Amino acid sequence: MAKELGALIAQRGWVLLNGGRNQGVMAASAEGAKQAGGTVIGILPDSTDGHASPHLDFAIMTDMGDGRNLLNVLSSDVVIACLGKLGTLSEVVLALKRDKRVILLGWELTDPQFARFAKTGQLTDAKTPEDAVEQVSAALSIRAASAGER
Amino acid sequence: MAKELGALIAQRGWVLLNGGRNQGVMAASAEGAKQAGGTVIGILPDSTDGHASPHLDFAIMTDMGDGRNLLNVLSSDVVIACLGKLGTLSEVVLALKRDKRVILLGWELTDPQFARFAKTGQLTDAKTPEDAVEQVSAALSIRAASAGER
Amino acid sequence: MAKELGALIAQRGWVLLNGGRNQGVMAASAEGAKQAGGTVIGILPDSTDGHASPHLDFAIMTDMGDGRNLLNVLSSDVVIACLGKLGTLSEVVLALKRDKRVILLGWELTDPQFARFAKTGQLTDAKTPEDAVEQVSAALSIRAASAGER
Amino acid sequence: MAKELGALIAQRGWVLLNGGRNQGVMAASAEGAKQAGGTVIGILPDSTDGHASPHLDFAIMTDMGDGRNLLNVLSSDVVIACLGKLGTLSEVVLALKRDKRVILLGWELTDPQFARFAKTGQLTDAKTPEDAVEQVSAALSIRAASAGER
């Protein structure tokens, strides 16, 4: 699913930015995006690119461990979170805190802490990669319209 | 409740470390700890101590915004999370990721992502500050015993 | 000189990575690189792209202030430092510490602390942008040869 | 000399804050301060206290590598730099950038970049630990007087 998501992101002409390592969702989405001719940026927790996915166009080295998760979030226009572990969850939480639009792909968050973000539409879930990408497109349109009004 | 928690931490002879700002749970727990004769360290998101609680003994300035939440977690032996907003939640998630013992004071996390941590006892909840402090004490004893075995 | 340097970097097919802000050497080198058809990444000290150069292809937001200088260094293969202020100097020092090849364009560092790096050739100076770019090319060839031997 | 400096800092009733590791100037100054009954905080580049000096009262873990050098600087009122390597030099540069008073103990910086800071008195050198501590005292008096005027 992550690979398909990467491909769809590339087909839209968007840049895929993720945590950059050669494992799990990061590696799969990077591979999908590259195979579809897209551009991939990885923000790595490491000080070198020794653990980087081979599918990155650009590797940003931070030497910050999990501290780089905030950078992933701040550098993204919209955040799509594939079902992952705690690193992904920390990105979802930080993204909501920093007012980013967040889409959960293939999972949900039901704790009361998340209810108000679901209510305003800042946090939604998507059943499929196509659905997620459609939601990103809508979010970017709203942003563009809102910027145009200023 | 945060103020009472701070006082209890101080009475145990432990150091209170929190986010350091002069607001909410951070300020209340710092005040409680200081009034009970304790020591308080604040790790601030800011580059100066302009927004620091007046009850800190030591202020660490990071200029990292929410990025400092990871430092709070890494620098703590045990994490007690009072019901807060997304900043607190990000600290809970990062603490679990970094294998820290986490106690939720006055709230719960029921999302499936948290279930396995509840199962192993890494994540528990406490009804009262006294309960939380008792759980910290037990966690520190286990750590000390485990270190002694090495 | 920074603008010309950016153009030469682009003509070589290399990526220009700098601090990303819309001022001084950062803005000038980014402009030069873009006009020559190159790719520019900016790693910003800010949490948004409000102060970013309009000539960036990709903006990485860190919300780390001067703390992002280390990321610039770690993410670069070779560091060219145009005569700047203390931010630039901190990058030179961190780059040397992290074993990066550093070229000073249009200035020198004569303090004894730098002597051993000049002696080994890790730190050199260049009189012109052309000279700097030639030195980068040589450094990259040595790296490639050394990687090939492994 | 670092050990003597630590002792003198403790005798003045000041807190010693340094990089926290169990090596070189960090370890020696921490030991001196503790033996003189002082308080020592270490801001470590690591994610655990495995490499911490045994003379720390408080260890702050950052998992940021050299990125923690900025935190040392921001969290200090005055910076005393014993002759060290590039890590120390990066702290001197960042401290000057962030408007901190800097005292070089037992060495000098003669590059033109530093001249204007020497001119204004922001950067000075000291021959002995006693001299350095006297200069800190004077700097803190000026700060206190300036705060009193507000």
User: Using one digit for the tens of pLDDT, what is the confidence trace for A75-131?
Assistant: 999 999 999 899 999 999 999 999 999 999 999 999 999 999 999 999 999 999 999
Best C48, C60, C63 residue to mutate vs chain B (most B CBs within 10 Å): C63
Q: What is the pLDDT of residues B36-75, one digit of tens each?
A: 999 999 999 999 999 999 999 999 999 999 999 999 999 9
Token pair 């540069």 is at which residue? D93
Dump the DSSP string for C47-116. SSSTTB-TT-SEEEE---GGGGHHHHHHT-SEEEEES--HHHHHHHHHHHHTT-EEEEES----SHHHHH
Q: What is the DSSP letter of B16?
A: E
Please identify among residues 87-116 of chain D the ones whose CB lies closer than 8 Å to any CB of chain C.
87, 89-90, 93-94, 96-98, 109-111, 113
- Average pLDDT across chain B, whole number: 96
What local confidence, expressed as pLDDT, does residue C145 receive?
82
Cα end-to-end span (Å), chain A = 38
Q: What span, in angstroms and rounded, lies between the C-alpha atoms of D57 and D13?
A: 15
How close C49 comes to chain A (CA, Å)? 9
Nearest to D111 among C64, C65, C110 (CB): C110
Lookup: tokens for B53: 């609680």
Return the number of other C-beta atoms located less than 10 Å from residue C44's C-beta. Answer: 26
Listed residue (D107, D131, D94) closest to D4, CA to CA: D131
- Label residue A140 by pLDDT band (50, 70, 90): very high
The backbone torsions φ and ψ at residue D137, rounded to the nearest 5 degrees and listed phi first, read: -60, -45
Higher pLDDT, A76 or C147: A76
Angle between helices B86-97 and A86-97 (to 10 degrees): 160
Q: How would you class D140 by CB atoms within 10 Å of its CB: exposed for 0-12, middle for 13-18, buried for 19 or more?
A: middle
Residue B150 has pLDDT above 60, yes or no: no
CB pair distance less than 8 Å for A93 and B98? no
Chain B residues near residue A109 by CB distance under 8 angstroms: 111, 113
Q: What is the C-alpha separation between A101 and A79, in angstroms, rounded?
A: 6
Of the partner residues C70, C75, C98, the one whose CB lies closest to the CB of residue A59: C75
Q: Hey, are the CB atoms on C65 and B66 less than 8 Å from each other? A: no
Contacts of C63 in chain A (CB under 8 A): 70-71, 74
Phi/psi of residue C47, nearest 5 degrees: -95, -10
- CA angle centred on C67, ends C62 and C70, rounded to 5°: 100
Is some CB atom of chain C closer than 8 A to the CB atom of B67?
yes
Q: What is the mean pLDDT of residues C61-66?
A: 98
Cβ contact B75–D63 (<8 Å)? no
Of C64, C70, C87, the CB nearest to D97: C87
Give which of D41, D44, D46, D61 to mutate to test B binding, by max B Cβ within 10 Å: D61
C88-92, D92-96, D141-145: range with lowest mean pLDDT: D141-145
Residues of A in contact with D47 (CB under 8 A): 65
Per-residue HEC secondary structure of A9-42 comes to HHHCCCEEEECCECCHHHHHHHHHHHHCCCEEEE
Which chain A residues are Cβ-neighbours of C71 within 8 angstroms? 60-63
Would you call D70 an interface residue with chain C, using a CB distance cutoff of 8 Å?
yes
Contact C86 D113 (CB under 8 A): yes
Q: Is residue B149 predicted with pLDDT exceeding 80?
A: no
Mutation site for C-interface testing, chosen from B44, B60, B61, B64 by largest number of C Cβ within 10 Å: B64
Overall average pLDDT of the D84-104 stretch: 97
Q: Confirm or reject contact between B64 and chain C (CB < 8 A).
A: yes
- The pLDDT of residue B97: 98
ipTM of this complex: 0.95
Are B60 and D47 a contacting pair at CB < 8 A?
A: no
Q: What is the mean pLDDT of chain C?
A: 96
Q: How far apart are CA C99 and CA C97, in angstroms?
A: 5
Quote the pLDDT of residue D143: 81
Buried-exposed string B5-34: b where 16+ CB fall within 10 A, e elsewhere: bbbbbbeeebbbbbbbbbebbbbbbbbbbb
Of B20 and A148, more confident? B20
DSSP state of D14: P
Q: Is D1 on the interface with B (CB under 8 A)?
A: no
The whole-angstrom distance between C133's CA and the closest CA on chain B is: 34
If you average pLDDT over residues C111-121, what whole number do you get?
95
C5 contacts C64 by C-beta, under 8 angstroms: no
What is residue D149's predicted lDDT score, i.e. its pLDDT? Answer: 64
pLDDT tens sequence across B71-101:
999 999 999 999 989 999 999 999 999 999 9
Vertex D117 angle, CA D113 and D121, to 5°: 155
Strand order across the B101-105 sheet = B78-82, B101-105, B123-126
Check CB contact of D63 with chain B, cutoff 8 Å.
yes
The CA-atom distances, in angstroms, between C77 and each of C105, C137, D65 are 16, 11, 19
Write down the pLDDT at residue B113: 92
Residue C147 has pLDDT above 80, yes or no: no
pLDDT of C150 over the 60 cut: no
Q: Which residues of chain A have a CB within 8 Å of the CB of D64?
A: 63-65, 67
Instruction: Work out the average pLDDT over A48-71.
Output: 98
Which residue intervals of chain A are DSSP H helices?
Answer: 2-11, 24-35, 69-74, 86-97, 112-120, 129-149
DSSP category for residue C14: P
Using an 8 Å Cβ cutoff, are C19 and C26 in contact? yes
Does position B143 have pLDDT exceeding 90, yes or no?
Answer: no
Q: Rg for chain C (alpha carbons), in Å?
A: 15
Q: How far is CA C19 from CA A45, C22, C56, D94, D128, in A?
A: 19, 9, 10, 16, 39
Tens-digit pLDDT profile for residues D129-147: 999 999 999 999 988 887 7
User: Hey, are the CB atoms on C86 and D67 less than 8 Å from each other?
Assistant: no
Split at pLDDT 50, 70, 90, the class of A149 is low
- Collect all residues of chain D within an 8 Å Cβ-Cβ radius of residue A68: none
Q: What is the pTM of this model?
A: 0.95
pLDDT band at C149 (very low <50, low <70, confident <90, very high): low
Q: Suggest the residue from B74, B98, B99 to mutate for an interface test with chain D (most D CBs closer than 10 A).
A: B74
Specify the pLDDT at position A150. 52
In sequence order, the 6+-apart residues with CB closer than 8 A to the CB of A131 are none
Question: What's the pLDDT at C144?
Answer: 80
Segment B34-46, tens digit of pLDDT: 999 999 999 999 9
Mark which residues 5-44 of C lie under 8 Å from B by CB: none
From residue C95, alpha-carbon distances to A26, A73, C34, C75, C123 in Å are 28, 26, 25, 10, 10
| C-alpha–C-alpha distance, residues A74 and A98, integer Å | 7
* D36 secondary structure, DSSP code: T
**Where does chain D have alpha helices with state H?**
2-11, 24-35, 69-74, 86-97, 112-120, 129-149
Over its C-alpha atoms, chain B yields an Rg (Å, rounded) of 15
Distance CA D138, CA D144 (A): 10
Average pLDDT of the segment spanning C9-33 = 98
Closest CA to C55 of C80, C81, C25, C35: C35
CB B65 within 8 A of CB A70: yes
Q: Check residue A147 and give its pLDDT.
A: 72
